[in-house]
Amino acid sequence: MILSDKRILEEIERGSIIIEPFRRECLGTNSYDVHLGKYLATYKDRVLDAKKHNEIVHFEIPKTGFVLEPNTLYLGVTLEYTETHNHVPFLEGKSSTGRLGIDIHATAGKGDVGFCNTWTLEISVAQPVRIYVGMPIGQLIYFAVEGDIETFYNSKANAKYNNKTTRPVESMMWKNEF
DSSP code for 148 = -
pLDDT tens per residue across span 94-139: 999 999 999 999 887 888 999 999 999 999 999 999 999 999 999 9
Segment 9-14 shows an average pLDDT of 98
**What's the pTM?**
0.93
Query: DSSP letters of 34-102?
Result: EEB-SEEEEESSSS--TTS---EEEEEPPTT-EEE-TT--EEEEBS-EEEESSEEEEEEE-HHHHTTTE
Average pLDDT of the chain, as a whole number: 95
Question: Domains along the chain?
Answer: 5-146 (2.70.40.10)
Cβ–Cβ < 8 Å for 34, 79:
yes
Would residue 122 show up in a list of annotated catalytic residues for this protein? yes
Residue 174's Cβ-count burial label (10 Å; 0-12, 13-18, 19+) is: middle
Distance linking the first and last C-alpha atoms of the chain: 35
Q: Taking the alpha carbons of 24, 29, 32, 36 in that order, is the dihedral positive or negative? A: negative
Share of the chain above pLDDT 90, in %: 85
pLDDT, position 73: 97
Range with the poorest average pLDDT among 59-73, 129-143, 153-167 = 153-167
pLDDT category at 162 given cuts 50, 70, 90 is confident
C-beta separation of 137 from 36 below 8 A: yes
Q: Of 80, 92, 122, 177, which one is the catalytic site residue?
A: 122
